[in-house]
Chains A and B, each alone.
Chain A
């Protein structure tokens, strides 16, 4: 056992001791926990990843408001891993893309830290109270990745933090960080699924949810690994929160005889897997339902070997939390060819539409729609029309002839790609942009990817791109005003198909282009000096950047905004306001003399709603951003009624996680994870002086 985490004397002398063995907890904590049973709502706490089980990212706190937000200052800031542990293990260097959002319960912050270990912190100072007991001894127990959220459960006596990490689902004692020996095998349950080269650890990136006494967890592998044969379908699984016993499994890829099996024609359901629901889950304990947004089918850019609609890919699922029975489902993209996996947490809210009370579930998507359903029945709140969409030109591919278009609310991102979408800040820029797009296929939303070949073009320009639109950053819903807020990143992607190098276990006839990526990388085999590489700088070979297309001189290719926030009144489905989030590239040499308004920073910031304000960052350079390497370190408060910026500050780095808020010792805090390429990720907490 690592001495860095256990058996150390408390160095701060606070009520909660940073040690595990035999430490009696502060009486105050035990007293509090006894009063707060289960998932009961407690004002000033943040008991779920998005504040509530309904996923609304809303807190009624109002100590920080428009009148004083300009006095907000950094209360504390600390590394994403216990500093003492870092000192003892100098080889620790977690990823900078730190997307953990803590919970705040009974006066303690609980989070997946930057290594994915549960860490408890003092909400007033950020000091580490404990780091969980790892599954493995030595360095292996420490190394790992963060998850977006952890889940909390209590029966009034026992209190547990449930976390998914690496191969395992873990139950950690909220009092001291020890694994719960009564849960599974010594505190852990394996989540591994069969893979091509052996079992794949599959805890996913977002973490589990607890509904009643049931833990539910989705999937989380990148879709791309599912181009290979032998990858299991990422079924939704449930476990008993006390024992870790498996309770039920819902097959996202139906088996013979199950509903949906025939949406994989020619028996293609037997071929592949994947379809992990990687976005955070939502639950309505009153109804006893869990809401799941699922991922793309295998080989998400080429579907020649999976003809049909492909249920339950790209679907919103309503499942009975106790049994896993499917109550209803709705597929939001048929036969996905664009990597439009559902990446946002479903958000629950109660609406009044045309005088009728509706318990709704709202699902923002990568392709820029906000789908809204009656969450009890699955009936669309506003009609969803199946409209004809373009056919595929790719040999072997049969695109599904129609796709679902919600009639309300209006799309919150640019959809489809025409010359009218190209930048036109100056006639010269427009002319250059026209030149850039010449070799590509363009068309309306759902124009399929196309083959890249000599004389055939360089593929399809897809907008929204595979980054969204919306992403895991999701939406926020105000239960008092019934306004819904969603952030969108506008950046076209190249969806091109190239003949792959022979892959024995591939499920696709094509590799994802552009072919320059493969070719330029192969050229490096012969390099004999790093200088040669500088010539290739414009080839965008880093981290999937090759799929992105840019305009002249690194400017975006399409009109602004590149990052926007849209507010909808969900009682009417009408758009209330839309605001560009951040300055964007308006200081670019070719734009700076044009006196442009804010153009919006494209990135991955998540919103936080309070009584009167909407807080949001700009995303971070470590994540996909527009312009490249963009993101931004600004963190803002918007007037949530008008979209006006009330206040902004600059953080140490861009926000990588979703912000949260809580009250502690009479003070409201706003806490967010930040990160930057090559820099150690941190948490930053803001409060009034």
Chain B
């Protein structure tokens, strides 16, 4: 559970912030709504950037789950931004974490903005 209060300490992405099932749902959503531009294998098709690899991970290194989640929800899919539900956006975020080598945990990725802000994406374990 990510039931931390706003004052809670930061949580690392390495502690497992999503579930395998959620990432699988996220994969389906990705293939349906994202892969047309970012490619089935997430390598991107310019100008849609790669969503897997060094560029992606360093871009979000040091940022919070709230940052990436809200960016996806506010801007994607680029042709129809704002059409992803919260649930779909969390699942796609989980799928991206999985594809970039971050471990799964027991619980689904979800939370209030202040909680999401405490979940940190980090290259360092």
Q: Is there an interface contact between B70 and A92, defined as CB atoms closer than 8 Å?
A: yes
Q: Is there an interface contact between B46 and A224, defined as CB atoms closer than 8 Å?
A: yes
Q: Which of A521-536 contact B (CB under 8 A)?
A: 521-522, 524-525, 527-534, 536
Spell out B's residues near A (CB within 8 Å). Answer: 36, 41-47, 49-50, 52-60, 63, 66-67, 69-71, 73-75, 78-83, 86, 100-102, 113, 123
A337 to B47 CA separation, bound complex (whole angstroms)? 18
Q: Is there an interface contact between A520 and B53, defined as CB atoms closer than 8 Å?
A: yes
Q: Is there an interface contact between A537 and B58, defined as CB atoms closer than 8 Å?
A: yes
With A91-B86, A136-B82, A534-B54: A529-B47 Cβ-Cβ less than 8 Å: no
A419 in the interface (beta carbon within 8 A):
no
Q: Is there an interface contact between B41 and A522, defined as CB atoms closer than 8 Å?
A: yes
Q: Is there an interface contact between B56 and A530, defined as CB atoms closer than 8 Å?
A: no
With A93-B67, A93-B73, A145-B75: A542-B82 Cβ-Cβ less than 8 Å: no
Q: Is there an interface contact between A197 and B101, defined as CB atoms closer than 8 Å?
A: no
A145 to B75 CA separation, bound complex (whole angstroms)? 7
With A90-B113, A139-B73, A543-B49: A145-B82 Cβ-Cβ less than 8 Å: no
With A521-B50, A528-B101, A530-B123: A91-B70 Cβ-Cβ less than 8 Å: yes
A139 to B70 CA separation, bound complex (whole angstroms)? 12
Q: Which 9 A-B pairs have the closest CB atoms?
A: A143-B82, A542-B55, A93-B70, A521-B43, A140-B82, A143-B81, A90-B113, A541-B55, A533-B54
Write out the residue numbers on chain A whose beta carbons fall within 8 Å of the beta carbon of B101: 527-530, 532-533
A588 in the interface (beta carbon within 8 A):
no
Q: Is there an interface contact between A530 and B82, defined as CB atoms closer than 8 Å?
A: no
Q: Is there an interface contact between B36 and A542, defined as CB atoms closer than 8 Å?
A: no
Which B residue's beta carbon lies closest to that of A677? B59
Contact of B53 among A200, A533, A547 (CB under 8 A): A533
Which among A91, A94, A139, A144 has the highest number of chain B CB atoms within 10 Å?
A91
Which B residue's beta carbon lies closest to that of A541? B55
A294 to B43 CA separation, bound complex (whole angstroms)? 29
Write out the residue numbers on chain B whose beta carbons fall within 8 Å of the beta carbon of A524: 52-53, 100
With A524-B53, A530-B100, A536-B54: A139-B36 Cβ-Cβ less than 8 Å: no
> How many Å from the CB of A152 to the closest CB on chain B?
26
Q: Is there an interface contact between B59 and A525, defined as CB atoms closer than 8 Å?
A: no
Write out the residue numbers on chain B whose beta carbons fall within 8 Å of the beta carbon of A525: 41, 52
Q: Is there an interface contact between B52 and A143, defined as CB atoms closer than 8 Å?
A: no
Q: Is there an interface contact between A143 and B70, defined as CB atoms closer than 8 Å?
A: no
Write out the residue numbers on chain A whose beta carbons fall within 8 Å of the beta carbon of B82: 136, 138-144
A542 to B73 CA separation, bound complex (whole angstroms)? 21
Write out the residue numbers on chain B whose beta carbons fall within 8 Å of the beta carbon of A518: 43
Q: Is there an interface contact between A534 and B123, defined as CB atoms closer than 8 Å?
A: yes
Write out the residue numbers on chain A whose beta carbons fall within 8 Å of the beta carbon of B79: 200-201
Q: Which of A489-544 contact B (CB under 8 A)?
A: 512, 517-518, 520-522, 524-525, 527-534, 536-537, 539-544
With A90-B70, A534-B123: A539-B63 Cβ-Cβ less than 8 Å: no
A sample of 24 cross-chain residue pairs with beta-carbon separation below 8 angstroms, ordered by A number, consists of: A90-B66, A90-B70, A91-B113, A93-B66, A94-B74, A138-B82, A139-B82, A142-B74, A145-B78, A166-B81, A197-B36, A521-B44, A521-B50, A521-B52, A522-B43, A530-B123, A533-B54, A533-B100, A533-B101, A539-B54, A542-B49, A545-B55, A677-B59, A678-B67
> How many Å from the CB of A223 to the closest CB on chain B?
10
A544 to B123 CA separation, bound complex (whole angstroms)? 22
> How many Å from the CB of B28 to the closest CB on chain A?
17
Which among B46, B54, B56, B102 has the highest number of chain A CB atoms within 10 Å?
B54
Which among B45, B69, B78, B79 has the highest number of chain A CB atoms within 10 Å?
B79
A222 in the interface (beta carbon within 8 A):
yes
Write out the residue numbers on chain B whose beta carbons fall within 8 Å of the beta carbon of A129: none
Q: Which of A141-156 contact B (CB under 8 A)?
A: 141-145
Further contacts, 6 of them, CB under 8 A, given A93-B70, A144-B74, A543-B47? A521-B41, A533-B123, A536-B53, A541-B53, A542-B50, A545-B55
With A91-B74, A140-B83: A544-B46 Cβ-Cβ less than 8 Å: yes
> How many Å from the CB of A518 to the closest CB on chain B?
7
Q: Is there an interface contact between A521 and B53, defined as CB atoms closer than 8 Å?
A: yes
Which B residue's beta carbon lies closest to that of A200? B79
Write out the residue numbers on chain A whose beta carbons fall within 8 Å of the beta carbon of B66: 90, 93
Write out the residue numbers on chain B whose beta carbons fall within 8 Å of the beta carbon of A521: 41-44, 50, 52-53
A115 in the interface (beta carbon within 8 A):
yes
A143 to B59 CA separation, bound complex (whole angstroms)? 22
